[in-house]
């Protein structure tokens, strides 16, 4: 079965975004009259809660305040998150969320190989649009046949829902696709959806348990996604051969021992 589509997580996989998210959250708190500050250490802990609105609600639940105050703060979550999303888009537009190494080459090689591209992310559609536009240009938005994100599904990662949503929209079987993820929750979601999964841990998720992934790479730039010597781009063959060659050469960890 040939490789039909590559499905990408966004935050931490396509681009190094979480510092911009963290700064946007902190400014949004002040803009909404809240004396909260999420340090790098606190944010790293909070990242286990997928979804910005859910993350704010989880933080509120952790505060030593009365139930009535907690209820008052919970009612502010949508407005805080709307402020944060606007601020995040502004930071992204100013170049504060660069693509990770190797991502653009992979996207262009996959397109040259006639493959489809899709997104399966927890973040909002507005954030995805802002990021693709800022990093690749608005003309790159149509590169993605499917942009599955945010509240399109009820259960966020590690539930497989967003990947199943993307597969249905692609009308593709899991065996025809490869998922790219940076976090334990994302890898679990992709694997639960039956996808061959490449884990590329980011500076925020390094140390998480991505052992369920089929391949773990330090960077997508570690793999040569350029068209083969014959000039006929066959990303699927290249991808699989490159990955297996790299495993054989010991350049890639294969958590499950022999290549699948």
**Rounded CA separation 97/24 (Å):** 12
Give me Rg for the CA atoms of the chain.
19
The listed partner (ligand XBP, Mg ion, none) that binds 121, CB under 5 to 8 Å by sort, is ligand XBP
Between helix 77-93 and helix 18-31 the angle, nearest 10°, is: 130
Task: Clarify whether 245 is annotated catalytic.
Answer: no
9 is a contact residue toward Mg ion (CB under 5 A): yes
12 is a contact residue toward Mg ion (CB under 5 A): yes
Tokens of 107: 């996207």
Name the one range near Mg ion by CB under 5 A: 8-16, 21-29, 34-42, 58-66: 8-16
Which residues have C-beta within 8 Å of that of residue 186, sequence separation ≥ 6?
9, 12, 13, 157, 158
In the complex, minimum distance from the CB of residue 65 to Mg ion, in angstroms, rounded to a whole number: 30
In the complex, minimum distance from the CB of residue 257 to ligand XBP, in angstroms, rounded to a whole number: 28
Rank residues 121 and 197 by Cβ distance to ligand XBP and give the closer one. 121
**Rounded CA separation 195/226 (Å):** 23
**Contact with Mg ion (CB under 5 A): which of 4, 11, 208, 236?**
11
In the complex, minimum distance from the CB of residue 17 to ligand XBP, in angstroms, rounded to a whole number: 7
**Taking CB under 5 A as the criterion, which residues in 183-242 touch Mg ion?**
183, 186
Which of 78, 80, 63 lies closest to 25, judged by CA? 80
Rank residues 119 and 252 by Cβ distance to Mg ion and give the closer one. 119
Task: Clarify whether 224 is annotated catalytic.
Answer: no
The listed partner (Mg ion, ligand XBP, none) that binds 236, CB under 5 to 8 Å by sort, is none
In the complex, minimum distance from the CB of residue 255 to Mg ion, in angstroms, rounded to a whole number: 19
Distances (CA, A) of 206 to 8, 199, 210: 18, 10, 9
* Site residues (vs ligand XBP, CB under 6 A): 9-12, 18, 21, 50-52, 121-124, 127, 157, 183, 186
Nearest residue (beta carbon) to ligand XBP: 52
**Rounded CA separation 9/152 (Å):** 15
* DSSP reduced 3-state for 165: helix
Q: Mind telling me the catalytic residues?
A: 9, 11
């Amino acid at each position: 079965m040939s490789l039909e589509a590559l499905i990408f997580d966004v935050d931490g996989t396509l681009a190094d975004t979480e510092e911009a998210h963290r700064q946007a959250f902190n400014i949004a708190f002040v803009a909404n009259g809240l004396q909260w500050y999420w340090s790098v250490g606190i944010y790293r802990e909070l990242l286990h809660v997928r979804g910005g609105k859910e993350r704010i609600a989880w933080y509120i639940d952790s505060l030593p305040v009365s139930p009535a105050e907690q209820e008052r703060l919970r009612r502010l979550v949508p407005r805080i998150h709307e402020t944060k999303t606007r601020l995040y888009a502004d930071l992204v537009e100013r170049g504060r969320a660069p693509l990770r190494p190797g991502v653009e080459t992979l996207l262009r090689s996959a397109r040259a190989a006639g493959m489809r591209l899709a997104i399966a992310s927890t973040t909002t559609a507005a954030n995805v649009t802002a990021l693709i536009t800022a990093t690749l240009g608005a003309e790159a938005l149509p590169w993605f046949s499917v942009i599955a994100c945010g509240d399109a599904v009820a259960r966020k990662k590690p539930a497989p829902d967003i990947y199943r949503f993307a597969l249905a929209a692609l009308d593709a079987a899991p065996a025809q696709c490869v998922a790219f993820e940076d976090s334990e929750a994302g890898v679990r979601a992709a694997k639960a959806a039956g996808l061959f999964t490449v884990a590329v841990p980011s500076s925020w998720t390094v140390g998480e348990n991505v052992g369920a992934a089929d391949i773990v790479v330090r960077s997508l730039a570690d793999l040569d996604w350029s068209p083969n010597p014959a000039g006929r781009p066959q990303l699927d063959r290249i991808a699989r051969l490159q990955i297996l060659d790299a495993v054989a050469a010991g350049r890639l960890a294969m958590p499950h021992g022999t290549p699948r």
